[in-house]
Each structure stands twice: as C-alpha cells, then as structure tokens.
Amino acid sequence: MLTRDGCEERRRRLWRHVPESYSWVLIGDPRHVQYFCNFRVNPISFSAEQRPLLLLTRDGQSALMADNFTTRTTKETVFADHEIVVPWYTHRKSVTNRDHALVVALNDIRALWDGEPGLTDTDSSSTTSRDRPRCGLVESEGVSQLVAAAVADYSEPVFEDHAARARTLGDVIRYLRRTKLPDEADILRRCMRACEAGHAAAFDCVRAGVSEFEVYLHVQRAAEAAAGVPCVVYGDFRANNPAEPKAGGLPTDYQMQPGDLFILDYSVVIHGYRSDFTNTLAVGDPSDDQVRLFEACHDALQASEAVLGNGVSCRKVYDTASEVLEDRGFGKLAHHAGHGLGLEHPEPPTLVPESTDRLMTGDVVTLEPGSYQSGIGGVRLEHNYLISDAGAERLSQHDLRLTAGG
C-alpha cells in the first residue's frame, strides 16, 4: 500500500505549502489521514463510518488518533510516531459516545500541540502555550467542531495569507493530491488489473435475457477475485437502447434485449484509490450505426490520448475529443472528456470545455468520450493515464470491443 517514503515525501510537500507561522497541522478527512500515514478505515468493515485524526508537526513528528475499534479495521502498517488508541469499547463496560474518543486522544498528546516541547516533558520552565499562540492549522473541512474546539486556543481554521490561492488546509491537500507519487501509482495499477478482469468477464455475461444486476454480480466477483482482497466495486452497470440512449448508475433488474448497448463504466477501489474505465458491449449483433458510433468514440479517445502531456491545456484535450465526434456527425461531446483520478471521483483536473486547468506530470486522468444518439443508442469508451513530461502512460489495458469476437 502507501509506503513510508511516499508518506514522508507527501508531508514534505505539505509543509512547503503551509505558511511558516504554523508548526503543526491537524487533519480529519479520512482520505487525508491515509494520504500522509497509510491508515485507512476499511469501508468493508464494522467501522466504515468512524473517523481518525492525524497530527503532523513541522519538525517531523506524527500522531494518529482513533478509538480501538476503528484502528482494528486495518492490518496495514501505519507510518506515525505515535498511535493514540482510545479504549472506547473493551467488552466489559457500557460505552459512551464514540465520537468523543477523538477529544480524549487529543488530550493525550497535548504536548504536541499546546506549545510544550516534547510528548512527556512537562518541565514548567519550558516554553508555554502563551509564548506560541495559534501555531496550529486545523483542516477545517475534515475536523469536527467538537475536535476543533479542543485545540481552538492554539490553532486557526484558515490562512491569513491572502496571496495564497489556498485558504484552508483542505485546499492545500487537494492541490497536492493531483500529483501521484510512485506508491500511489502502484496502488492504482492494482486497481487497473482488477478492473480489467471485470471487463474481460463482462464478455461472458452481457447477452439477451441476462439482467443488469447479474452482470454486476459477475463483474464484481471477477474484479474482486483478481484483486485478491475484498474491495468496493461501483459504477454504471446499465443497458441503453435506440429509444433511450442514456442510462447510468447502479444495475437494475432489467433483462437485456437484442439491440441494446451495455455501458460498463466502473471503478475498483483498493485502499481508497480507484480505477475508472469503460467499454460498451452490444447485446446481440450491433447495428451498422452502433458500430459507426463506437468507432467515432474510439477515434475520439485515440485523438485525445495523443495530445496528453505535462502543460497541456485541459480544454484542448476536451476540444480534441469533441471535434472527432462532431466531424462524424454526432455533435459535440456532451459531457466531460475526462477528469482526475485518485482518492475521490471526480477530482481535478477537469477536462471540460471551459476548464482553466493544465495537465501536470503526476496527474492520473481518465479519458472517456461518449455519445448518446436517439435511434442508435449510447456508447462510451474510456482509458486511464499517468501524465508525464513526455506525454502519458496508459494504465488500463482492457479491450475496447462491442462483442467478444468483434
């Protein structure tokens, strides 16, 4: 999963973007806790909705805080100097409000944030909190009011630096997240392999008489089997047809009919990171128009892939894909040409007509031209890429084909 080197490099990047007046940060968004120390509450566990806290200091200390049932949900190595595990539930006594455990944890490491020099050093002659007021920065989007109140006298929720484009710690971290380090790319590659297995399996089951939900079960199983671990599989598992060419979301019990097109656009999430790629399958023999539409999307994908690279305007990538569709008589691309991929969906950069983003080395993006034509049906095709100075590495290797043989 995430590595010690990766977590340490992400922290160094963080401190370069936090104004120098702050000597510690308190992080509460579970994605961001993971990003900096590799602790993630497994969503396929009994603690899916509980939240941890991470305190980082500019001088290199780190403390993970959570209740004992939340920390139990992962076996991954945590890269933190201190792990403050509050014994919320001991199998002996009645429990109190679980969310309040984080306040207890914060008090346990008070010396890290109230201005005392060391965790255990309580020498009264040392620097007091009054000498260094408000030297902390709290991730105000991810830390609860209750937790923030515990450190309120020592911290700020927003920057005072008006020149910065970022005003909150969340802004900074979301910016940093665009650039995937090698350990993140490695997890993304695992997601890709699992997602490819699901796409390959789809050719076995997309046919007349099978329900969308059955396709989901089949694809999910193939993807998880390839991943080798329980993981979240989500996306669009929907059939469309010439009369209703646009459909998205989770599967229904609709049984496919000849002439339908099935857009399989799904993600495999491993340790928070996700693949996101698409193929469109024909139910029975595709019509000539469906083949033409598929080829147009395929060419749009290839054309936009060819322009990817560090510094390229995201608007240009959109325009490139859209123009191919328009040239073929299918009109402009009616949704994004793609978006960033990582701990969230979607995330920057956005490959859209009025985007002000530019691709950067380290971005992982998806390209997904699609077209939904009354009288024909809907087609979408998608690959994932890691942006580099030289161009882009295609991360997904699934087959783009309307039928198993075609």
**Nearer to a copy of itself among residue 30 and residue 245 (C-beta):** 30
* Of 307, 311, 366, 378, residue with least CA distance to 337: 366
**Nearer to a copy of itself among residue 54 and residue 282 (C-beta):** 54
Q: How far is the CB of 204 from a copy of itself (least distance, A)?
A: 15
Give me 151's structure tokens.
């450190």
* Of 274, 357, 32, 63, residue with least CA distance to 171: 32
Q: How far is the CB of 221 from a copy of itself (least distance, A)?
A: 6
Say which DSSP state 365 is in.
E
Q: How far is the CB of 120 from a copy of itself (least distance, A)?
A: 29
**Nearer to a copy of itself among residue 7 and residue 352 (C-beta):** 352
Rounded CA-CA distance 367/198 in Å is 19
**Nearer to a copy of itself among residue 306 and residue 334 (C-beta):** 334
8 A C-beta contact, residue 317 and residue 359: yes
**Nearer to a copy of itself among residue 273 and residue 402 (C-beta):** 273
Using alpha carbons only, give the angle 162, 165, 169 rounded to the nearest 5 degrees: 90
**Burial call 269-293: b when 16+ CB within 10 Å, e when fewer:** bbbbbbbbbbbbbbbeebbeebbbb
Rounded CA-CA distance 298/287 in Å is 16
**Nearer to a copy of itself among residue 282 and residue 351 (C-beta):** 351
**Nearer to a copy of itself among residue 22 and residue 282 (C-beta):** 22
Q: How far is the CB of 350 from a copy of itself (least distance, A)?
A: 5
Q: How far is the CB of 301 from a copy of itself (least distance, A)?
A: 17
Rounded CA-CA distance 384/397 in Å is 9
Q: How far is the CB of 93 from a copy of itself (least distance, A)?
A: 5
Q: How far is the CB of 362 from a copy of itself (least distance, A)?
A: 18
**Burial call 171-194: b when 16+ CB within 10 Å, e when fewer:** bbbbebbbbbbebbbebbbbbbbb
8 A C-beta contact, residue 219 and residue 264: yes
Burial class (CB in 10 A: 0-12, 13-18, 19+), 144: middle
